[in-house]
Structure 1
Amino acid sequence: MSRTLFFAILASAAALLACPGTTNAKEPAMTTETRTPLKPGKSGLLPINGLNYYYAVYGKGEPLLLLHGGLGSTDMFAPILPKFAENRTVIGVDLQGHGRTALGDRPFSVEAIGDDMADIVKALGYDKVDVMGYSLGGGVAFRMAVRHPEMVRRLVLVSTGYATDGFYDEMRPQQAQVSAAAAPFMKDTPMYKSYVAVAPHPEDFPKLLDALGNFMRQNRDYSADVPKLKMPVMLAYGDSDMYKPEHEIKFYQMLGGGLKDAGWMRENLSRNRLAILPNRTHYDVFFAPELTAAALPFLNGETKVKSWDEVVGETE
């Protein structure tokens, strides 16, 4: 594999991991130097369905399950985690084969991992949580919300799609080539360095790439499941994300948003939200302050936005 081809594959794999049925190979994972300085109040390993999942709990308040992107860990959210933990109990989980959670021998599947997340939430003593997932974590959050809707109060999907055809066309052939063969080229990348710094079995890195590659070669379309998301949903993307803009808009419309004018008094406003963050890409949207500013009011069920009529009334 040439180095040029490797980096093309690596970039394309990152986009695929934003899909509910796929996984990412080039999201910028935090290095050991930038790992979150916020210390968890509780952390450990939970035996769930044949895997030992690492979890960490931060802050106090309404529970929020926070799910990271491919080839990363909860540490990816270091810049924004403290803000979420100010008034919330944030539950970070390292997904199968990522961070401090070993890959194990079980096939890699967002359906199964979504079920695992529901079991983790129960094991930690929660009946219902808000869920926010980025990229691969967004895919897991999507599947958890479809399969366990009674456990998800509000849902935020960051850089997440509902089908693999939402990616730019040139990426799919490159994604198909992701495998253990890429491992030697990744020794100097932050993804590899952060992985070996905390992984219980660092030697499993090539196996993880094989598992993700096998997973990514599958075509997936969850459009039939989108209407099953009955809880309030926010979709968030960078304006230069890895999904086609028309895919993002269609996802929002499938959720009932963007189908008509909201009305003078906002009477037709959808309860779901679409956030397009300017000057953001797939690789930096997950730690953007603008993401926190958009997601927190939504998760809290708050809005400070007033209709024009209300604003005019206040000035009279």
Structure 2
Amino acid sequence: MKHLFLLLVISLSTFGQQKIPYGNNPKAGHYAAIRGINLYYETYGKGAPLLFIHGNNGSIQDFKNQIPYFSKHYQVIVADNRSQGKSIDTSDSLSYEQMADDFAALLDHLKLDSVNVVGWSDGGINGLLLASRHPEKVRKLAVTGANLIPDPIKSTDPWVVELVNHMIDSLQKAPESLERNRVLKLSRILVEQPHITHADLAKIECPTLVIAGDHDVILPHHTLEIASAIKRSYLWILPNSGHSTPVFYKNIFNSTVFDFLKTPYRKIEKQAKFY
């Protein structure tokens, strides 16, 4: 009896506090038939639309630290990128441009002219491409851990590139299957793409917050290069941080991105650079 009473107390204490199954939530989930695939997405909250884009081989669940915070103020839209999560694509090729255009098509599907965008890692690359290829669709953009080129000297930690190449070698030797093929093309994209130029970044019209950790797998000087090439940008390098800024620094990440989204862009020049 005492054991049953204890179970009842625990049950009552957690009632109404069950975690929302982000990425697997029938109440919030939908499919959009776009560009030859069924793209899975979920929406939360009300307000101005805010699109989150996850990283390589990730899913909606990667933003479990952001969705509850931002959905109090925005209509949060989170999707599983092509070939990831529930967005199945069995083709043997993949590109960042393809995924960026998927998100433009998703916004058309949702009848949204423009949105704010937050992208992490590969999602940051997709955010940069979405804003450069479809500038009218992005109001403000925040990207963390993005890169322009797959270069072990100019952009990315050489150890990471070597690690991914070893993974590709192992996958190529593995028995062929849909899952092996999916992971292989996602791995290849890391060392073969993207190829974003400064001319591409010059097409970005929206205010942009460029973020990275000071010990990110993306080299700090490369993050500075990205910010410098975007007309209306801020740069934020988190000290004592790696690549997973939305996870290990979730509180300051959320509050800083929120402040960036709600505050008009300030052009800092001449005397203002002293302040």
Secondary structure, in 3 states, of the residue corresponding to 1:291? helix
Match of 2:184 in 1: 210
Contact 1:239 1:276 in 2 (8 A): yes
Distance 1:183 1:301 in 2: 48
Pair 1:151–1:41, CA change in 2 (3 A): farther
Contact 2:96 2:194 in 1 (8 A): no
The Cα of 1:160 is off from its aligned counterpart by 0.7
Distance 1:234 1:143 in 2: 15
Pair 1:42–1:219, CA change in 2 (3 A): closer
The Cα of 1:37 is off from its aligned counterpart by 9.8
Unaligned runs of at least 5 residues, structure 1:
1-32, 186-202, 257-270, 304-308, 310-316
Distance 2:193 2:44 in 1: 36
Distance 1:44 1:106 in 2: 25
Query: Could you report, residue by residue, the CA deviation over 1:94-152 in whole angstroms, capped at 9, with x for unpaired residues?
Result: 00111111132262111011111001011011111111110111111111111111111
Distance 1:46 1:38 in 2: 16
Structure ranking higher on relative contact order (CA contacts 8 Å, 6+ apart): 1
Pair 1:91–1:104, CA change in 2 (3 A): same
Unaligned runs of at least 5 residues, structure 2:
1-18, 266-270
Distance 2:207 2:147 in 1: 17
Distance 1:37 1:113 in 2: 18
Match of 2:170 in 1: 181
The Cα of 1:182 is off from its aligned counterpart by 4.7
Structure 2: which amino acid aligns with 1:114? A
Pair 1:219–1:105, CA change in 2 (3 A): closer
Match of 1:249 in 2: 224
Choose from 83, 87, 99 the match for 1:97. 83
Match of 2:114 in 1: 128
Match of 2:209 in 1: 234
Match of 2:161 in 1: 172
Choose from 225, 230, 238 the match for 2:200. 225
- TM-score (normalizing by structure 2): 0.79
Distance 2:246 2:161 in 1: 23
Structure 2: which amino acid aligns with 1:293? S
Secondary structure, in 3 states, of the residue corresponding to 2:214? strand
Distance 1:82 1:50 in 2: 31
Contact 2:215 2:241 in 1 (8 A): yes
Secondary structure, in 3 states, of the residue corresponding to 2:86? coil
Structure 1: which amino acid aligns with 2:262? N
Match of 1:306 in 2: none
Secondary structure, in 3 states, of the residue corresponding to 1:132? strand
Moved more, 44-53 or 216-225: 216-225
Segments ≥4 residues shifted beyond 6 Å: none
Secondary structure, in 3 states, of the residue corresponding to 1:229? coil
Match of 1:142 in 2: 128
RMSD: 2.8
- TM-score (normalizing by structure 1): 0.69
Distance 1:290 1:214 in 2: 33
Distance 2:123 2:224 in 1: 20
Contact 1:159 1:236 in 2 (8 A): yes
Distance 1:221 1:252 in 2: 16
Distance 1:290 1:106 in 2: 39
Distance 2:133 2:34 in 1: 17
The Cα of 1:43 is off from its aligned counterpart by 2.0
Match of 1:81 in 2: 67
Contact 2:150 2:191 in 1 (8 A): no
Distance 1:252 1:48 in 2: 32
